[in-house]
Structure 1
Amino acid sequence: MLQPFGPNIWIVDGSDVAVAGFRYPTRAAVIRLSAGGLFIWSPVHLTDKLRTELDALGTVRHIVAPNSLHHLFLHEWKQAFPNARLYAPPRLQKTRPDLAFDAELDDESGTEWSGEIESVVMHGNLITAEVVFFHKASGTALFTDLLQQIPAGHITGWRRLVAKLDLMVEPEPSVPRKFRIAFTNRGAARNSLKRILDWPVEKVLMAHGAPVERDGLAFINRSFKWLKP
């Protein structure tokens, strides 16, 4: 069920996905652009109910995979909305040659949403090149896997210990340890982070974790304090 998150932005929580025995909650965001088209960030499983709600909002024009790990539901969305443009982050097109992407995201992506949504590729990470977005009207930054918080009840036994060591069950969402280690080019990452910190962020959305609804810029600063020189 779509939940309003600010002016012309909604969120919807999808079903859990299992990766190596870990259960991850999923979340998508829907942004209605000024021209009326819908921008879909990090698609979750497309149910009939969700499709009905989307049809009531507008026409799906842009389907965005924000990093190379979030591609599980792209095929069903493209089948449901064949006229929508499908966007890949860096590295994903090689992983999913079965999908006909219309464009690869970069720091200058999206002329059709420029002025409403900005983007920065978080460079320097071996695991994934994540594209971070900023929706101006709502003051919302959208992270995918670089910030996470897994509910404690989702993980038990030895996997809970692994999650704790990976900083995935902290009191507030944080950058998992594996992603911190994977930032082998810290200079490139810092340059990307500097651009993100220039945004007037009020709120932060994540694919896996409770949304931050106030003092978003301070939260991002805390979360990436370890990256700063």
Structure 2
Amino acid sequence: MLRHFGEEIWIADGPTVSVAGFAYPTRMIVIRLSDGALFVWSPTPLSIELRVAINRLGSVRHIVAPNTLHHMFVGQWQTAYPAALSYAVPALRTKRPDLKWDRDLGDVPEAAWSSEIDQVVVGGNRITTEVVFFHHQSRTAIFTDLIQHFEPGWFGGWRGIVAKLDLLTAIRPTVPRKFRMTFRDRSGARNAVQRIMAWPTVAVLTAHGAPIPHDGRDAIAHAFEWLLRK
């Protein structure tokens, strides 16, 4: 169910989904803008209970797919809220031509949220391009898959071994090893992360990991230490 996280920001944890045989939890983030519009990030399945809670908050006007991997439930939201605009990284248009995409996500925030939410594209990765967001009012940075963290017992058997090697179950949230190895342009990625580090971040939310309510800049610096050092 929808849970209040900070000033004008809520989270909702959805069901686990299977990706390449691994069970991943799902999480949605909702930001209420000053005009009452709702910015829905990486939507989870739209249950009746969730829809009621969402409608109490405001009007869904922005449906955001933050990378090429988080799009599974966008169609449900487009059907439920046909007047909302849908945003995605450009490559998702090719991957999901069955969905309606109104705008491409880039380094410049949309006018509808530019005074309240900032964003940076972290590109040059063979797995996905990800847009990282920053909500000014709650001082929350929002990552999708670039930072992850699972409890050691989340994955069992051989999957647990693979997860450990991939740093998914490291002591602190960090960038999975597979992402570290697949950056084609580390200089560009470093510049993007340096821009993210300039945000006055207090909290960090990710799709796959417990919320980080405090010391967010330190958490980001730790996660990207391998990239930021030259």
> Is structure 2 residue 190 aligned with structure 1 residue 190?
yes
Amino acid at match of 1:113: W
Provide Cα deviations, 1:74-101, integer angstroms capped at 9, x if missing partner: 1111001110000011311110011110
Report the TM-score, using the length of structure 1 for normalisation: 0.98
Q: How does 1:172-211 map to 2 (within 5 A)?
A: 172-211=172-211
State the alpha-carbon separation in 2 of the partners of residues 151 and 41 from structure 1: 24
Determine whether 1:101 maps to 2:89.
Answer: no
**What is the CA-CA distance between 1:170 and the residue it aligns to?**
1.2
- Looking at structure 1, the residues matched to 165 and 72 of structure 2 have their Cα atoms a distance apart, in angstroms, of 26
For residues 186-226 of structure 1, what are the alpha-carbon distances to aligned partners after superposition, in whole Å with 9 as ceiling and x for unaligned?
11101101110110000000001011110100110111000
Task: Give the conservation status (yes or no) of the 8 Å contact 2:109–2:117.
Answer: no
Matches for 1:151-162 after TM superposition, within 5 Å: 151-162=151-162
What residue in structure 1 maps to residue 216 of structure 2? 216
| 1:25/1:150 contact within 8 Å kept | no
Deviation at 1:59, TM superposition (A): 0.5
Task: Name the CA distance, whole Å, in 1 between partners of 2:151 and 2:145.
Answer: 15
Q: Which runs of 4+ in 1 moved over 4 A?
A: none
Where structure 1 has 5 or more consecutive residues not aligned to the other structure, the ranges are: none
1:26-175 to 2 correspondences below 5 Å:
26-175=26-175
Question: 1:123: how far off?
Answer: 1.9
- Output the TM-score relative to the length of structure 2: 0.98
> Unaligned stretches of 5+ in structure 2?
none
3-state SS of 1:144 partner = coil
Please report how far the alpha carbon of residue 150 of structure 1 lies from its aligned counterpart in structure 2 after TM superposition. Answer: 2.3
* In 1, Cα distance between equivalents of 2:12 and 2:135: 16
RMSD, matched Cα: 0.8
Spell out, residue by residue over 1:97-121, the C-alpha distance to the aligned partner (whole angstroms, 9 max, x if none). Answer: 1111000100013110011000000
1:125 positional shift = 1.0
8 Å CA contact 2:153, 2:160 repeated in 1: no
Identity across aligned pairs (percent)?
54
What SS is found at the alignment partner of 2:172? coil
Aligned partners of 1:105, 1:151: CA distance in 2, in Å? 32
Q: Which residue number corresponds to residue 7 of structure 1?
A: 7
Q: Which amino acid aligns with 2:119?
A: S
User: Cα offset for 1:151?
Assistant: 3.2
CA contact (8 A) 1:24 1:150 kept: no
Contact 1:42/1:66, CA 8 A, preserved across alignment: yes
